[in-house]
Amino acid sequence: MTSPHHSDIEPIAPQPSLGRRALLSQLGSLCALATLSQRCFAAPDDDDTTGEPAASRLTYEGPQTQRWKFGLSFNTPVTCTNVFATFVVPMEWPEQKLTPINQTIDNGITGWEVKELVGGAKQVLVQMASVPAGSTNEISFEFDIERTRILPPEQIDDLVIPKRLSRDEKIYIGNSPHIDASNGRIRKVSRELGEREAENDWDRVEQIYDFVRKEVEYVEGPIRNASDALKDGKGDCEDLTSLFVAICRNLRIPARMVWIPDHCYPEFYLEDSQGNGTWFPCQAAGTRMFGRMDEYRPILQKGDRFKVPESRTPVRYVAEYLKADRKGKKNPRPTWIREMIDV
- State percent of the chain over pLDDT 90: 80
In this prediction, residue 30 carries a pLDDT of: 36
Mean pLDDT over residues 302-326, rounded?
A: 95
Phi first, then psi: what are they for 134, rounded to 5°? 80, 10
Closest CA to 245 of 284, 300, 273, 215: 284
Residue predicted with more confidence, 14 or 213: 213
In this prediction, residue 310 carries a pLDDT of: 87
Q: What is the pTM of this model?
A: 0.85
In this prediction, residue 165 carries a pLDDT of: 92
Instruction: Work out the pLDDT band at 52, boundaries 50, 70, 90.
Output: low
Mean pLDDT of the chain: 88
Instruction: Work out the pLDDT band at 41, boundaries 50, 70, 90.
Output: low
Q: Is CATH 3.10.620.30 the classification given to domain 155-291? A: yes
Listed range (3-17, 92-106, 128-142) with the worst mean pLDDT: 3-17
DSSP annotation of 34: -
Mean pLDDT over residues 16-44, rounded?
A: 39
Q: Where are the beta strands (DSSP E) in the chain?
A: 7-9, 59-76, 79-89, 96-105, 111-117, 121-131, 135-151, 217-218, 234-235, 255-260, 263-271, 277-283, 289-290, 301-302, 320-327, 333-341
Model pLDDT for residues 213-271, shown as the tens digit of each residue: 999 999 999 999 999 999 999 999 999 999 999 999 999 999 999 999 999 999 999 99
Residue ranges per structural domain of the chain: 7-150+302-341, 155-291
Mean pLDDT over residues 163-175, rounded?
A: 92
Calculate the alpha carbon distances from 189 to 127, 194, 281, 320 in Å: 47, 8, 22, 35
Q: What angle do CA 9, 316, 278 make, to 5 degrees?
A: 140
Residue 202 in this model has a pLDDT that exceeds 90: yes
